């Protein structure tokens, strides 16, 4: 059962992804170079994140769509944490993806009726 908090969490995740991957793309390019990842990987990750964000928004009206995108987005945020750790980024750079990871896990838990 979706709650107002779940809907807000879905919107926060989706809007955050769009802001970072569309309006702050120059930062993404720099970070992926810092991580040693190629352009194809960056394009695939960005495409996946935009698609998953879209599904999270659609999931507001069609809750059956929410679980898999939330778990996949959580995996991508966990991967971001790994790469931030790998290049020893300061905690300020790690916090956004950690926050989105926790929101995605919350969304998935609600979707699975583990919390209500």
Whether 116 is in a domain gets the answer no
Is residue 56 situated within a structural domain? yes
Q: Is 18 within a domain?
A: yes
User: DSSP 3-state assignment of 90?
Assistant: coil
Is 73 a member of any domain? Answer: yes
Which is nearest to 97 in space by CA: 23, 22, 28, 8? 28
Inside any domain, residue 39: yes
Q: Determine, yes or no, domain membership for 17.
A: yes
Q: To 5 degrees, how large is the angle CA 89–CA 91–CA 97?
A: 90
Domain extent, residue 13, equals 4-111
The number of domains in the chain is 1
Question: Residue 30 domain-assigned?
Answer: yes
- Domain-embedded: residue 15: yes
Task: Give yes or no for a contact between 93 and 66, defined as CB atoms under 8 angstroms apart.
Answer: no
In order along its 116 residues, the chain shows pLDDT tens digits of 568 999 999 999 999 999 999 999 999 999 999 999 999 999 999 999 999 999 999 999 999 999 999 999 999 999 999 999 999 999 999 999 999 999 999 999 999 999 97
17-35 pLDDT, tens digit per residue, is: 999 999 999 999 999 999 9
pTM score of the predicted model: 0.94
């Amino acid at each position: 059962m979706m709650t107002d908090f779940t809907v807000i969490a879905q919107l926060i995740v989706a809007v955050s992804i769009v802001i970072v991957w569309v309006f702050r793309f120059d930062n993404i390019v720099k970070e992926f170079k810092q991580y040693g990842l190629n352009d194809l990987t960056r394009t695939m990750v960005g495409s996946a994140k935009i698609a998953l964000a879209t599904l999270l928004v659609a999931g507001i009206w069609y809750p059956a769509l929410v679980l898999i995108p939330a778990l996949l987005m959580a995996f991508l945020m966990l991967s971001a944490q790994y790469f931030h750790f790998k290049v020893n980024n300061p905690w300020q750079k790690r916090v956004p993806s950690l926050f989105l990871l926790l929101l995605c896990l919350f969304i998935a838990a609600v979707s699975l009726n583990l919390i209500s």
